[in-house]
Structure 1
Amino acid sequence: MIDQSRSPAANAEQRRHTARHKMFGPVTLRVGSAEMRGHFLDLSSSGALAHCETPPVAGAYIFVSALGMEASGRVMWARGKRFGIQFSQPLSEEAVERLISGA
């Protein structure tokens, strides 16, 4: 159960089961046959906050590639140029660290 007396940000953090790491890293996004450049603004093993000029709509399935790694997921929400991705399979801790470090 979510504590309704807390702020929306605190409630969102309570719903998350994995730690989020702030970052700014380039990624390639693919929705259907459309490919676009974007950036991760934060990342966890279960999802990411992303930004791009023309974000996909909520509910879209998306493929993400960066630093030779690929992941798939679903866009859970989109507001302006930002959107949240929930990965289909959790990323390994090694993959998260590699993406954060940019190595």
Structure 2
Amino acid sequence: MIDQSRTPAVNAEQRRHTARHKMFGPVMLRMGSVEMRGHFLDLSAAGALAHCETPLAPGAYVTVEAMGMEASGRVVWAQGKRFGIQFSQPLADDAMERLIRGA
């Protein structure tokens, strides 16, 4: 018998406990002294799906700056120029709202 609960899609859904919001917002990514432009493709309080022309490796720690706010986190997966960031601290509701609305 095959254990269907171990499929990546199911496990990813089980790990997501916060709502995700589709978006396309510019961000500045910083790893040490290296800065790169990127975009969030979706966002939750716990993390983000991001895109950057410079591929980032899983395990890398990044600081994200957008709209006068800053958050840090770790790249948990990467596929080509897309990658997932898990924030070190969940984003506050007002920060989420600001990033999603772009205001």
TM-score normalized with structure 2 length = 0.91
Correspondence for 1:41? 41
Structure 2 residues not aligned, in runs of 5+? none
Report the identity percentage: 79
State the number of aligned residues. 101
Give the CA deviation at 1:93. 1.1
Give the CA deviation at 1:36. 0.4
Structure 1: which 4+ aligned runs deviate by more than 2 Å?
Answer: 3-11
- CA RMSD between the two structures: 1.5
Correspondence for 1:24? 24
Give the CA deviation at 1:28. 0.1
Code of the aligned partner of 1:36? M
Is 2:5–2:11's contact at 8 Å kept on the other side of the alignment? Answer: no
Correspondence for 1:4? 4
Is 1:4–1:11's contact at 8 Å kept on the other side of the alignment? Answer: no
Give the CA deviation at 1:6. 8.1
Correspondence for 1:64? 64
**Structure 2 CA distance for aligned equivalents of residues 9 and 22 of structure 1:** 18
Code of the aligned partner of 2:22? K
Within the alignment, does 1:83 sit opposite 2:83 as a pair?
yes
**Structure 1 CA distance for aligned equivalents of residues 8 and 29 of structure 2:** 28
Give the CA deviation at 1:55. 2.3
**Structure 1 CA distance for aligned equivalents of residues 63 and 55 of structure 2:** 13
Correspondence for 2:74? 74
Task: State the SS of the aligned residue for 2:94.
Answer: helix
Is 2:77–2:83's contact at 8 Å kept on the other side of the alignment? Answer: yes
